Amino acid sequence: MSAEATVLAYWAACEARDWERFGTLLADDMVYDLPQTRERIHGRAAYLRFNQEYPGDWHVSVVRAVGDGRRAATLITVTVDGTPTPATTFFDLDESGLIQAITDFWPEPYDPPAGREHLVQRY
């Protein structure tokens, strides 16, 4: 399976709460990083539990996925209790095609600085 197909399967399993399928895509010694909160999770079992116990009524949809060789990236929208939030995720796969490392970025929206209104369109 290509890196892009692997991460699309990952997000599909996540959205379906198919934790058995989700776990088959992860290397035993995988590492999950969240730079904004400076959290790191080591290992498939801990990462599975992290996802299984994640609170709220959340849903994920893939906006874009790209992959090449053993690396892939996705832009997703996660909707929690009706509020959509974009996130960017980077994946590294091991030699057997399992997800070895994940880095998730959950940006907080902010207002742009004044003075560039004539150059941009806000959405």
Spans of all domains in the chain: 3-105
pLDDT given at position 108:
82
Does residue 56 carry a pLDDT above 90?
Answer: no
pLDDT given at position 123:
81
Higher pLDDT, 107 or 34: 34
Does residue 113 carry a pLDDT above 90?
Answer: no
Residues 41/32, Cβ–Cβ less than 8 Å: yes
Residues 26/41, Cβ–Cβ less than 8 Å: no
| Residue at token pair 């909160």 | 37
Nearest to 10 by CA among 86, 80, 67: 67
CA distance 3 to 92: 8
pLDDT tens digits along 7-45: 999 999 999 999 999 999 999 999 999 999 999 999 999
pLDDT given at position 101:
98
pLDDT given at position 3:
97
When the pLDDT of each residue in the chain is averaged and rounded to a whole number, the result is 95
Does residue 109 carry a pLDDT above 90?
Answer: no
pTM of the complete model beyond 0.85:
yes
Least confident of 16-20, 56-60, 64-68, 74-78: 56-60
Domain 3-105, CATH class in plain words:
alpha beta
